[in-house]
Amino acid sequence: MSTSTTTGRVALVTGGSGGIGQAVVERLIADGYSVAVHYAGNKAKAETLVEKIAASGGSAIAIGGDVADENAMQAAFDQTETAFGGIDVVVNTAGIMLLSPIATLSLDDLDRMHRTNIRGSFVVSQLAANRVRTGGAIINFSTSITRTELPSYGAYAASKAAVEALTLILARELRGKDITVNAVAPGPTATPLFLDGKDEATIERLTKMAPLERLGQPEDIAETVAFLAGPARWVNGQTIFTNGGMA
């Protein structure tokens, strides 16, 4: 259901055709936002989501591009502003996770994660810092693995720790602009990104890590994003660990 505080606001969601990204898009649409659904490779999925939104009376467009390519992302911001008149919220859910012990990690995989997770977050944050309207919000994505230090997640956790640092410093740099900048750090969440390559025993073990003894759902994470995007005007320069109580 839309609210008077969010109706008319515009959001750009990178990775908007993915598991958490799609849930974020649908949650913001329910709150009355117009949403640009960004995709990197799955154009058909993004366009299907946009068609579904239009059929239910919502307003959305699909836009493509590599988040680490500043020209492609400038075009994505331009397209969003052309379609909706401006941008109030940028949610950067785009990211990749490649797991390996540090001792044996392929440096090519390290570079791939660095490009998408760190450079991509920097490019999107830099553009958002210059384009988001007064009263807006920038929301990046970290991970609860930065706290739990699970084996094989070293390079991924390092990339997300960099995103946290970028996010918290940007919040201070935007002093006086009335734009909040925060990071969401999900715990284990039932998405293809998380489930891919894990056997049932591993999934069961990770499920038990939270006191609530279940995996997070994309909708759980989207609730936190909606809070930061709209009503949470006094939450700024923070990393919000959305993980069901996992340490």
Catalytic positions: 156
- Strand ranges for 89-141 from DSSP E: 89-92, 137-141
| b/e 67-104 (16+ beta carbons within 10 angstroms → b) | bbbbebbbebbebbbeebeebbbbbbbbbbbbbbeeee
| b/e 211-236 (16+ beta carbons within 10 angstroms → b) | eeeebbebebbbebbbbbbbebeeeb
Contact of 175 with 227, CB cutoff 8 Å? no
Q: Which residues contact 66 (CB under 8 A, 6 or more apart)?
A: 40, 72, 73, 120
Reading across the β-sheet that carries 59-64, which strands appear in turn?
A: 59-64, 34-39, 10-14, 89-92, 137-141, 180-186, 239-242
Largest CA distance in the chain: 53
- Strand ranges for 65-221 from DSSP E: 89-92, 137-141, 180-186
- Amino acid (1-letter code) at residue 190: A
What is the C-alpha radius of gyration for the chain, rounded to an integer number of angstroms? 17
What's the rounded Cα separation, in Å, for the pair 37 and 46? 6
